[in-house]
Amino acid sequence: MKLIYDPLYGYIELEKYLLDIIDTPEFQRLRDIKQLGCASYVFPSATHTRFEHSLGVSYLCGTFIKTIKENQPELNITEDDIRRIKIGGLIHDLGHSCYSHFFDHYFLSDLDHDLKDHENRSIFLLKYMNTKYELGLSADDLVEIEKIIFPKISYGFKYSIVCNENSGYDCDKLDYINRDCHHLGLPYKYDYTRILKQIRIIDNEICFPIKQMSNVYELFELRYKLHQQIYQHPVISSIEMMILDIFKSSELNKKKAEYVTDPEKFIMLTDDYINRIDNDEAKEILNNIRMRKLYKNLDSVDEDEIEKEKYKYKLKIKINFGKGAKNPLEYIYFYDKGEKVKIDIKEKMMLVPTHYELIKYRFIY
């Protein structure tokens, strides 16, 4: 057991089975991958990494599943369940690469391979590490951890703690929203502590007390604000497309499949890879980023308004509450007097948006 200090949670404990994973080059590389990708070019303090986020998610997952076990011993949650869920939280982002989501969404968009998505790469790397370092994970462990990373609604509550496929209320979101707000210096914080103490598992579903409905909803409102104000910032999009052009000019562009399928090569792909691309085009674009000579951008809800020959990239921007055009509360179960209930949102909430998703096009030129 090892104690480390986290700015969100204070001192947290790391068990040996977590440390065996953490103290490897494959995991340590997450220190060199920023949580918010290119955002630090616009928001200078957004320099926190996938490393601390991964530790935070693992801690939160352990806290949630242990609290549920304590409150409902009849569920027969085992130590193996807790261990696997904590490992799932720890490695859920292990497969991220240069500038996080940018790499998958833009650079690998034309790659026809299962490993184009970071979740698949996370499991791929864990299996590789389990053999290389003799981590001691059994075949059953790996199957269960994969189900925790790729949950289906039918799997039940144990598989909805790291990533909740149904509602989106999960430990991944709880950590990154509070961690991003903390490092960005935003005056937002989501308090989940009371909800945690009152979560109940009913019919294998995570259910929340109905009196905490507004508090549950607040998580998704914060997600919307962050996408609107930070994650989808137009200048970040301009810089992403400049970095995309740098990567397209590199040797890596011709060897995408080779790099994502070879663990030894893949772990070289961190944010600093951009400084190792040695050609005139890449150097010029990178210099322009540093001198703030950025691509221009224009947002429009109607792509027909833009002359096609004048833009270089067209991006589809979606800003929502996490469930597309739907209210996420429609996918969440609550309980009242010990009984699972579905709520009528318009009846229970005074202020209900008329739309839950904004879709627009961003043109980079």
Instruction: Quickly list DSSP for 236-303.
Output: HHHHHHHHHHHHHTSGGGG-HHHHHH-HHHHTT-SGGGGGG--SHHHHHHHHHHHTT-PPPEEEES-G
Q: What pTM was estimated for this model as a whole? A: 0.95
Cα–Cα separations (whole angstroms), residue 211 to 128, 205, 335, 348: 46, 18, 9, 10
Task: Give the tens place of pLDDT for each residue, 15-37.
Answer: 999 999 999 999 999 999 999 99
8 Å CB contact between 299 and 362: yes
**What stretches in the chain show pLDDT beneath 50?**
none
92 in catalytic set:
no
Give, as one character, the DSSP assignment of residue 100: T
CATH top-level class of 2-364 = mainly alpha
Give, as one character, the DSSP assignment of residue 7: T
Torsion of CA 255, 260, 265, 269, to 10 degrees: 90
Catalytic residue (choose from 48, 96, 118, 227) = 118
Give residue 351's pLDDT.
63
Q: Residue 317: which H helix or E strand, with range?
A: strand 313-320
Give residue 152's pLDDT.
87
Give residue 1's pLDDT.
87
For the record, the structure tokens of 56 come out as 């935070």
What is the Cα–Cα distance from 105 to 362, expressed in whole angstroms?
A: 15
Cα–Cα separations (whole angstroms), residue 133 to 23, 118, 260: 10, 21, 20
Nearest CA-CA partner of 172 in 123, 227, 138, 219: 219
Nearest CA-CA partner of 312 in 235, 233, 241, 234: 241
Give, as one character, the DSSP assignment of residue 9: T
Helices 79-91 and 118-132, interaxial angle, to 10°?
Answer: 120
Burial 98-120 (b: 16+ CB within 10 A, else e): bbbebbbbbbbeeeeeebbbbbb
The average confidence (pLDDT) of the chain is: 94
Give residue 117's pLDDT.
95
